[in-house]
Structure 1
Amino acid sequence: MGADQTIDWRNAAANALDWWHEAGVDTLVDDVPRDWFAAPEPLVVPAAAPAVPPAMPVATPSAMPLSLADFLNWRSGAEVPEADWSGISLAAIGPADATVMVLVDCPDRDDGDAGALLSGASGRLLDKMLAAIGLTRDEVHLAAVCAKRPTAGRIQSEVEDRLAEIAKHHIGLVAPKRLLLLGNAASRAILGMELQAARGRLHEFNHKIAQTKAGDASDMTSVVASFHPRFLIEKPAAKAEAWKDLQMLMRGQSSQEGGQ
């Protein structure tokens, strides 16, 4: 009944191979049977490892000189943040062993022509401020956080930290008993706070260069933050507050302590 069920499988296989050969198939796909009708498995692509740039050498500033004379020479050299700025680098002036040190933000506009810090109107006001507490400019050590005046008159944020390190090192070499910070930039550099927050109280600054352990009383500088003379010229009403700051500097106690 029905068709002949006798099949020569050898001939059938040979015919199938001949057909595939004619179709161009000449290579086995797998060693085991594959279900060509099954849904394909999702392709998993390994995430590419992030490219790691080659390590670049990091330039580190050399150690700052440990004598004041060498430091002042280095301060106008090629390793300071202001080295590539335009203008004249103005060195600090005053005795190396001054009891009082004054730190401002940067030279004034006309200081470059005179070749000295605070040589104009703000300098004349500073002289009067010093005279009010029995000092002259020749008796104090006057320096600036910036040895050159920035183009906009403000210290750029990217160099603030390095300039603060340099200023603190400078103070350590002078080791003054009292330090007067004039202006916001000087207050931030040494005390790490804005002028308005720093005013009205006495601060202590450890000027010891190698601070490997707590310093004794001889390593401490009394610090007072006050208004820059150029601000007082623009805002004369603030002179009364500046006078309180000067008194606190010489008295060695804060205004709060004085009222107790």
Structure 2
Amino acid sequence: MESAIDWHATKAMLEWQLEMGVDEAILDQPLDRFAIDAAAREAAQAQRGRTATATAAPTAPHPVEQVDPVAVAQAAARSATDLDALRAALGAYEHCDLRKGARNLVFSDGIAGAPVMIVGEAPGRDEDREGRPFVGRAGQLLDRMLEAIGLSRTESVYITNVLPWRPPQNRDPLPAEIAMMQPFLRRHIALAQPRLLVVTGNHACKALLGRTGITRLRGQWTEAEGLPAIPMLHPAYLLRNPGAKREAWADLLALKARLRNG
């Protein structure tokens, strides 16, 4: 009740002052309104500066882990203790884009532990469809070549490729693709334990010998992965260039002689 009386009394006093002509409140001390306006402007500017800084400040990006596909391949290949484990490691390897467009992983054919291991380049259409290396026209020619010197993939030869997946449109393997597959190929040779290697084509020579120029390299015994190795013309090349079959026959005879002489 007392507060209500005070409110009405105060209102009446203000109304009386207005009637007397009072139009501005006078404080005990002078009020510098210019200073108030300047302080308000400074506060507004400071607030805008803080807002702009917060907006412009970049958010620290999360560090992206850089993966080395070759290092991953080396670790995966090294962990494989047998050929089945190596095949599984290749199947689980996710850093080679060739796998996305291939139907099958083409791992090997023939007899593991055979004295001769043939290393080709990459699967073609027929190999991709069947999941085995050298099964198309080039593979049929290879079988006849081996038979001519008493060898066969069912008894005395083991076969693989540098790449286990078919490149699009049968294009040449890229250097990065070969580099990723090299650790698996080296481990493959170590686990298969052949007596000697037949390296067919330029890309296989690049992967195992670090050199290209198959027409110059062919027929010359060298060493790869600690084993005797002979570069030979790829059967697909012989299909395109039948005149080169004479050189291929000479290389086959050299292979036969090396096997006979130990």
Q: Into which bin does the TM-score normalised by the smaller protein fall?
A: 0.5 to 0.7
Counterparts of 1:245 and 1:236, CA distance in 2: 15
Q: Distance in 2 between matches of 1:83 and 1:108?
A: 13
Match status 1:85 vs 2:98: no
2:76 to 48, 63, 66: 63
Aligned residues: 188
Q: What is the CA-CA distance between 1:183 and the residue it aligns to?
A: 1.1
The percentage of aligned residue pairs carrying the same residue is: 29
Q: 1:231 to 1:112 in 2, by over 3 A?
A: same
Amino acid of the structure 1 residue aligned with 2:165: K
Give me the whole-angstrom Cα distance separating, in 1, the residues matched to 2:219 and 2:115: 21
What are the residue-to-residue correspondences of 1:149-228 with 2, within 5 Å? 149-153=166-170, 154-194=172-212, 195-206=214-225, 220-228=226-234
Shift of 1:200: 2.8
Does the 8 Å CA contact 1:90/1:112 hold for their aligned counterparts? yes
Partner of 1:243 in structure 2? 249
* Paired amino acid for 2:84: A
Going from structure 1 to structure 2, the CA distance change for 1:173 and 1:189 (only over 3 Å counts) comes to: same
Alignment match, 2:111 = 95
SS of the equivalent of 2:188 reads helix
Distance (whole Å) between structure 2 residues aligned to residue 171 and residue 204 of structure 1? 13
For structure 1, which segment, 236-245 or 64-73, has the greater mean C-alpha deviation from structure 2 after superposition?
A: 64-73
- For residue 187 of structure 1, what is the amino acid of its counterpart? C
Quote the Cα distance in structure 1 between the aligned partners of 2:247 and 2:99. 36
Q: How does 1:98-109 map to 2 (within 5 A)?
A: 98-109=114-125
Q: TM-score, normalised by structure 1?
A: 0.66
Does the residue aligned with 2:76 lie in a helix, a strand or coil?
Answer: coil
| 2:104–2:130 contact (8 Å) kept in structure 1 | no
- When the two structures are superposed, what TM-score results if normalisation uses the length of structure 2? 0.66
- 1:123-162 residue pairs with structure 2 within 5 A? 123-138=139-154, 139-153=156-170, 154-162=172-180
Q: What is the DSSP-based 3-state SS (H/G/I as helix, E as strand, rest coil) of the residue aligned with 1:181?
A: strand
Q: Which moved more, 1:164-173 or 1:71-80?
A: 71-80
CA pair 117-233 structure 1, distance change in 2 beyond 3 A: same
1:202, distance to aligned residue in structure 2 (A) = 0.3
**Deviation string, structure 1 residues 217-251 (Cα, Å, up to 9, x no partner):** xxx42111111111111111100101111122232
Alpha-carbon spacing, 1:78–1:163, altered in 2? closer, same or farther (3 Å):
closer
Query: Cα 1:196–1:157, aligned 2, differ >3 Å: closer, same or farther?
Result: same
> 1:187: how far off?
0.9
Shift of 1:124: 1.0
The verdict on how the C-alpha distance between 1:113 and 1:85 changes in structure 2, with shifts beyond 3 A counting, is closer
Task: Report the alpha carbon displacement of residue 95 of structure 1 after superposing the two structures with TM.
Answer: 2.0
Q: Cα deviations across residues 25-77 of structure 1 (Å, max 9, x unaligned)? A: xxxxxxxxxxxxxxxxxxxxxxxxxxxx9864332413311312210222222
The structure that is helix-richer by fraction is 2
Between 1:119-128 and 1:242-251, the stretch displaced more is 242-251
Deviation at 1:109, TM superposition (A): 1.7
**1:158-197 CA-partner distances (Å, limit 9, x unpaired):** 2221222321221111121111111111111101111234
CA distance 1:117–1:227, shift in 2 (3 Å)? same
Could you tell me how far apart the structure 2 residues matched to 1:126 and 1:186 are? Answer: 16
Match of 1:72 among 78, 82, 87: 87
